[in-house]
Amino acid sequence: MVALTGLPWKQEALFRRLAAKMPALLASPEPASRPTRQRRAQQRLTEDRARQLIAEYLAGANMRQVAERWGVHRTTVATQLRRAGVNPRPSGLGNQDVDEATQLYADGWSLARLGKRYECSADTVRSALLKAGLVMRRPWERS
């Protein structure tokens, strides 16, 4: 839809210009649609693979590591653990890690650097440090 505004004599000129361009406008190709993301084919775990996956988790690997190794989503790992009656380990930092992270933060480490060290997000580290009673540095105190 096109709205022609202005005085009547100006509208006529605009209409004539639009009509002259109409064949070109109608012949122009359709705008490209958004590229679609390829979905991964769903993988079903055999009982044997599920047992191996659970054994890896029980041996100390975290859910993300197990999921990457087996090419499945971490929720799939969690589902398999639940089905096997395995209680997942709490995510985030353990008490010993919080003590160490508190000291490293006091030594000037950033939350992002601590997150990389403990293989979690900076927000997870921040939450754990706040829960432990640590006062965060002010923006002007950061180095």
Q: Which residue has the higher pLDDT, 132 or 119?
A: 132
Q: Is the overall model pTM greater than 0.75, yes or no?
A: no
- Of 77, 82, 81, the closest CA to residue 67 belongs to 77
Task: Give the whole-angstrom CA distance, residue 7 versus residue 135.
Answer: 67
pLDDT of 20-74, one tens digit each?
877 776 666 666 667 777 776 776 788 999 999 999 999 988 888 889 898 888 8
User: How confident is residue 5, by pLDDT bands cut at 50, 70 and 90?
Assistant: low
Q: Is 33 left (phi over 0), alpha (psi -120 to 50) or beta?
A: beta
DSSP string, 8-71: HHHHHHHHHHHHHHHHHHHHSPPPPPPPPPPPPPP-PPPHHHHHHHHHHHHTT--HHHHHHHHT
